């Protein structure tokens, strides 16, 4: 999917990276190397100057150039509800529409826009590899349509503790960081490494973390265990990792991908044993509310590091959702 070269060791992805704008120079260098349009890229300063000139002329045309469209992902994603909410909350977005597609299609459109230095506004979230691969920024969201940084919870079906106490205990102990998840995600998507290989190499590098989840837990003998997840790279990286951990414990793990709301009903209806990507309290709040009494929440596996918003390339001369023209 991506033509970018390796950008050095991944140490500070996610929110920190998005907030500080790290990775900008790396991306700039790569763009220089790969551009076939050499004349626009002489030096960094020239770049900045010409970008400024272009900005002052073009900024008033951003909305038209983007056809008053926010480029979104699959319709079931919680972030799409937040984006619809933003269109309601901000008067300047009255005439805007939210285009739904998929994470992969959104990324393709975003990368095409970046290649041509055209304006684009996408639904974006952390943890996500795109902030390490591209020079992007969140637009300020004074109305909090996209909520505040939130947690990722682990949910299991009722009765799991009796039926599969070993898996239950590991899932109960499971806890990691946005950097951990972003590292696997980056290897899968940017480095194009198979998801289980990427997850395995993170596991190999983080034995202490894994031991803190599995220590003292008995092995099992080939029992099946189903994890249900959503159709996004963040979910893929997390469930690939957990599936290896549970397989190492002796489980035979099935992974199934569905639209967001079906993750919740599957666990509530005992069709799946667990989900480990419940973005709460905001992103999946409505889905969770419907099933809250029929699932068991084992708490946060990632704390305060998940976030949503509208994301634009750094070269766009706007900082807030309120700056998107009417």
Binding piece for ligand PBE, criterion CB under 6 A, among 5-13, 50-58, 169-177, 228-236: 228-236
- Measure CA of the first residue to CA of the last residue in the chain; give whole Å: 33
For the residues of 146-180, what is the DSSP string, one character each?
Answer: T-SSEEEEEEEETTHHHH-HHHHHHHHH----HHH
Q: Is 86 in the site for ligand PBE (CB under 6 A)?
A: no
Contact 63, 32 (CB under 8 A): no
Backbone angles phi, psi at 75, to 5 degrees: -60, -25
Pick the closer one to ligand PBE by CB: 90 or 279: 279
What is the dihedral sign for C-alpha 128, 132, 136, 142?
Answer: positive
Beta-bridge partners for 275: 155
Chosen residue from 62, 90, 96, 125 binding ligand PBE by CB under 6 A: 125
DSSP for residue 119: -
Chosen residue from 14, 23, 72, 78 binding ligand PBE by CB under 6 A: 78
Q: Binding string, 265-284, against ligand PBE, x = CB under 6 A?
A: ------------x-x---xx
The CB-of-189 to ligand PBE minimum distance in angstroms stands at 13
> Helix axis angle, 178-189 relative to 195-205, nearest 10°?
140
The CB-of-60 to ligand PBE minimum distance in angstroms stands at 31
Cα–Cα–Cα angle for 95, 314, 49, rounded to 5 degrees: 110
Binding piece for ligand PBE, criterion CB under 6 A, among 29-37, 93-101, 184-192, 226-234: 226-234
Chosen residue from 10, 66, 70, 79 binding ligand PBE by CB under 6 A: 79
Q: Is 264 in the site for ligand PBE (CB under 6 A)?
A: no
Binding piece for ligand PBE, criterion CB under 6 A, among 14-22, 46-54, 70-78, 89-97: 70-78
- The residues that touch ligand PBE, with contacts defined as CB under 6 A, are 73, 77-79, 125, 230, 232, 234, 260, 277, 279, 283-284, 308
């Amino acid at each position: 999917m991506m033509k970018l070269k390796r950008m050095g060791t991944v140490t500070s992805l996610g929110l920190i990276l998005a907030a500080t704008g790290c990775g900008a120079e790396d991306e700039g260098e790569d763009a220089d190397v790969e551009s076939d349009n050499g004349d626009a890229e002489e030096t960094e300063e020239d770049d900045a100057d010409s970008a400024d000139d272009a900005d002052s002329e073009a900024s008033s045309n951003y909305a038209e150039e983007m056809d008053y469209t926010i480029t979104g992902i699959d319709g079931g994603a919680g972030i799409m509800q937040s984006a619809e909410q933003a269109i309601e909350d901000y008067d300047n977005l009255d005439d805007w529409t939210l285009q739904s597609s998929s994470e992969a299609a959104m990324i393709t459109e975003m990368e095409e826009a970046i290649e041509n230095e055209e304006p684009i506004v996408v639904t974006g979230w952390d943890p996500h590899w795109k902030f390490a691969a591209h020079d992007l920024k969140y637009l300020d969201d004074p109305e909090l349509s996209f909520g505040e940084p939130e947690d990722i919870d682990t949910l299991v079906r009722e009765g799991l503790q009796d039926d599969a106490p070993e898996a239950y205990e590991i899932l109960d102990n499971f806890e990691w960081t946005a950097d951990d998840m972003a590292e696997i995600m980056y290897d899968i998507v940017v480095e194009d490494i198979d998801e289980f290989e990427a997850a395995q190499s993170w596991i190999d590098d983080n034995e202490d973390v894994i031991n803190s989840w599995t220590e003292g837990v008995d092995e099992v003998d080939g029992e099946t265990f189903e994890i249900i997840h959503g159709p996004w790279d963040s979910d893929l990286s997390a469930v690939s990792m957990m599936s290896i951990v549970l397989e190492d414990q002796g489980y035979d793990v099935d992974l199934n991908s569905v639209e967001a709301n079906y993750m919740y009903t599957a666990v509530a209806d005992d069709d799946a044993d667990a989900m480990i990507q419940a973005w709460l309290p905001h992103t999946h709040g409505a889905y969770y509310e419907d099933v809250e009494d029929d699932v068991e929440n084992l708490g946060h596996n990632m704390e305060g590091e998940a976030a949503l918003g509208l994301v634009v390339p750094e070269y766009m001369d706007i900082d807030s959702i309120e700056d998107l023209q009417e």
